[in-house]
Amino acid sequence: MSETIFGKILSGAIPCHKVYEDERVFAFLDINPLSAGHTLIVPKEPARTLDALSDESAAALGRALPRICRAVIEVTGVKEYNVLENNGAGAHQAVDHVHFHIIPKPSPGEGLGVGWPARALDHKAGAELAAKLRATLG
């Protein structure tokens, strides 16, 4: 995997506004925030998408994310927020290194806007799909 802009931030080759760091996780402010406090949390492991991440990095991210959410809430004073993680260009991933966004939602016009084209679940197809997923997950 070629080095991404986040790889360069992790190596210190380009600057960022650092928010948090531990052995496996690094967090910094987004350079084009959707709202004040928009923060990016990345594993130090250079995986492209979430499904490619090791259990160790996943566990470390899971531990760090709520802690960083609490800090963002405390510092911005904004209690509502979205956590977003895009995988693949078609799903709006612009940087090919796993990253979670924490995006405060201070008002309807700020923060993340979400399109949600929901349709009712077909329960017969849903039962088959869930059975296949359970079998795959073991």
**Contact positions vs ligand 5GP (CB under 6 A):** 5, 16, 28-32, 40, 86, 92-95
Token pair of 123 as six digits:
């329960």
Adjacent-strand bridge partners of 21 = 26
Closest-CA residue to 71 (of 43, 40, 37, 101):
37
11 or 125, CB closer to ligand 5GP? 11
Q: How far is the CB of 132 from ligand 5GP (least distance, A)?
A: 28
Distance (Å, rounded) from C-alpha 60 to C-alpha 73?
20
82 or 106, CB closer to ligand 5GP? 82
- 99 as an active site residue: the answer is yes
26 or 60, CB closer to ligand 5GP? 26
On whether the CB atoms of residues 58 and 96 are closer than 8 A, the answer is no
Catalytic option among 38, 92, 97, 99: 99
Tell me the catalytic residues.
99
